[in-house]
Amino acid sequence: MVRKLGAEFFGTFWLVFGGCGSAVLAAGFPELGIGFAGVSLAFGLTVLTMAYAVGGISGGHFNPAVSLGLAIGGRFAWAELAPYWAAQLAGAFVAAGVLFVIASGAPDFAAGGFASNGYGALSPGGYSMSAALVTEVVLTAGFLIVILGSTSVKAPAGFAPIAIGLALTLIHLVSIPVTNTSVNPARSTGVAVFAETGALGQLWLFWAAPLVGAALGAVIWKLILSPDEGLENLGGPDEAAPA
């Protein structure tokens, strides 16, 4: 269990440091900024690379919503849910702290939003709370369907991290203007602590919506898309999914 939690810690650290780091350090850099597309790709690459690196140890969730969805889908033991959440949150906090130390070394540094998520005045495009809620629920549900489908016993072996990484890239391409993209409560929580906006006050949505979306995606997969899959994959790291 210690190895599993260590893998979840480092995987979530990599996701937050690489994904949010690309937004904080590189997205708006004069003339060489990577923009929304670059940040989207960075998030997808963090999941893809760490899923191959440590996915065989812990299943490579790196996301409390994914852990919940996999438990509902019969791919993950409920008894391990709370420890996984704790490891994922710890990884996100440490990554955000390291990123803050680096970013604060720049002249005239101001944390600002610090890659946090938000709606209304804190949405990159000024989108409403209802728009943010629907976006996060729908995209997290789709993410779980991709995860469960690409790690199904009937899916081609060895390609799941690629499909999941590309799915996360697509999710960011769609939703960065709306919420700055969460679909991951740990990612949202880690950076919100360092933001100089009201991100902490809106954090509830970026827990509630991804968890609801993950549950919805798991139910759709289990009851409609793969009704014959059964529970034979419960708890095994080889069958659990990176995300």
Helices 64-72 and 81-103 sit at what angle, rounded to 10 degrees? Answer: 160
pLDDT < 50 stretches in the chain: 230-240, 242-243
Residue with tokens 């929580």: 189
At 14 the pLDDT is: 98
Q: What is the dihedral of CA 147, 206, 127, 219, to 10 degrees?
A: 40
Spatial separation of the C-alpha atoms in residues 241 and 44, rounded to whole Å: 15
Spatial separation of the C-alpha atoms in residues 205 and 162, rounded to whole Å: 28
In contact, 16 and 190? CB cutoff 8 Å = yes
Residue with tokens 């790196």: 62
Domain segments of the chain as ranges: 2-225
The CB-side HSE value for 5 (13 A sphere, CA atoms) comes to 12
For 33-36, the CB contacts below 8 A with 24+ separation are 36/172, 36/173, 36/176, 36/177
Spatial separation of the C-alpha atoms in residues 44 and 42, rounded to whole Å: 5
Write the Ramachandran bin of 195: left for phi over 0, alpha for psi from -120 to 50, otherwise beta: beta
Amino acid making up residue 32? L
At 32 the pLDDT is: 67
pTM: 0.90
Q: What is the widest separation between alpha-carbon atoms in the chain?
A: 58
- Other CB atoms within a 10 A radius of the CB of residue 28 amount to 11
Amino acid making up residue 75? R
Spatial separation of the C-alpha atoms in residues 211 and 143, rounded to whole Å: 12
CATH superfamily of 2-225: Glycerol uptake facilitator protein. (1.20.1080.10)
At 157 the pLDDT is: 82
- Other CB atoms within a 10 A radius of the CB of residue 196 amount to 11
Q: Which two tokens stand for residue 14?
A: 């990599």
